[in-house]
């Protein structure tokens, strides 16, 4: 997993009480939620929400997620979820990192999505056109 300091999107998030386990730290599965929420907010900000995609028969789906847990977060802590996007053939690769406000890395992840169009696997060309300005950065 590589990271890049030139992120194309950032989202501040605060840990909620139901996201921590009995030890008072964020349960590992919740980081997947944070990463997904960040991707959804990015798509919305970029002008192509998941609702709009689905209404056009386009459904990005996860193919693979690699996540490295570095520093735990606790109740009430704030984080900044950041992402970059690249395309390799039919795959859209989100490099997603979460940091504490002081810059301490919390999570580093690589999320690979593919596109289902009208029920069939596609190359994702429609999605690539919609996100062209972000893919070329």
Domain that holds residue 127: 9-135
Position 2 in a domain: no
Q: How many domains does the chain have?
A: 1
Say which residues have a Cβ less than 8 Å from residue 35's Cβ, sequence separation at least 6: 65, 67, 81, 94, 96, 98, 107, 109, 111
Position 109 in a domain: yes
pLDDT 10s digit of each residue in the chain, 137 long?
Answer: 444 568 999 999 999 999 999 999 999 999 999 999 999 999 999 999 889 999 999 999 999 999 999 999 999 999 999 999 999 999 999 999 999 999 999 999 999 999 999 999 999 999 999 999 998 65
Closest CA to 115 of 99, 131, 133: 131
> Which residues are catalytically annotated?
21
> Which CATH number belongs to the domain containing residue 61 in this structure?
3.10.129.10
pLDDT at position 26 is 96
d(CA 112, CA 87): 9
Position 4 in a domain: no
Position 83 in a domain: yes
């Amino acid at each position: 997993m590589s990271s890049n300091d030139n992120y194309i999107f950032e989202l501040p998030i605060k840990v909620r009480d139901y996201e921590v386990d009995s030890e008072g730290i964020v349960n590992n599965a919740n980081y997947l939620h944070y990463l997904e929420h960040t991707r959804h907010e990015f798509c919305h900000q970029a002008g192509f929400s998941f609702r709009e995609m689905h209404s056009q028969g386009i459904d990005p789906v996860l193919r693979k997620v690699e996540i490295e847990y570095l520093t735990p977060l606790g109740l009430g802590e704030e984080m900044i979820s950041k992402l970059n996007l690249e395309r390799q053939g039919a795959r859209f690769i989100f490099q997603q990192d979460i940091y504490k406000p002081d810059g301490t890395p919390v999570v580093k992840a690589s999320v690979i999505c593919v596109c289902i169009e009208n029920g069939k696997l596609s190359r994702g060309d429609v999605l690539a056109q919609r996100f062209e300005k972000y893919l070329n950065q």
